[in-house]
Amino acid sequence: MKHLIIAGLFTTVAGACMAGDQAVTHPYDGSFDDAAFAVENAIIGRGLVIDYVSHTGEMLNRTGADVGSTKQLFNEADVFLFCSAQLSRKVMEADPMNIAHCPYGIFVADQGGDVMIGYRTYPEGAMQEVQSMLEDIVQEALE
């Protein structure tokens, strides 16, 4: 199950630079490590638990040659996976199929020295409250 979640989030991270309608990204004025630390603190500071950190950039760099690629997509890229029991219950009571969007993820990526923080976009309706929470977390990390 974790592999499917990670694969889905990888698709989001990789697509963020190509399709602005799939992800919201914000440039970070600082290092990748500082951005990752800021995101982690912003999530934990809200009383949320990070379930998993996917080190997507490391995986891509490590496996590129194995899949016949020499292209480096990211210097570094991590995806922080977490959930909010209160907000998840609310959006799933509105529509139980919103389970498809859980857990939520915020990514930090360094592409050629340009660091960004972002998250996938969500459909209209109840999931916009989740998107708003993600934006609030990102904005806190950017401060």
Provide mean pLDDT across the span 19-35.
92
Report pLDDT for 21. Answer: 85
> Do β-strands 114-120 and 23-28 pair in parallel, antiparallel, or remain unpaired?
antiparallel
Structural domain spans, the chain: 2-142
Domain range 2-142, its CATH number among 3.30.310.70, 1.20.120.80, 3.30.460.20, 3.40.50.300: 3.30.310.70
> Do β-strands 104-111 and 114-120 pair in parallel, antiparallel, or remain unpaired?
antiparallel
Report pLDDT for 14. Answer: 42
Q: What's the pLDDT tens digit per position in 71-126?
A: 999 999 999 999 999 999 999 999 999 999 999 999 999 999 999 999 999 999 99
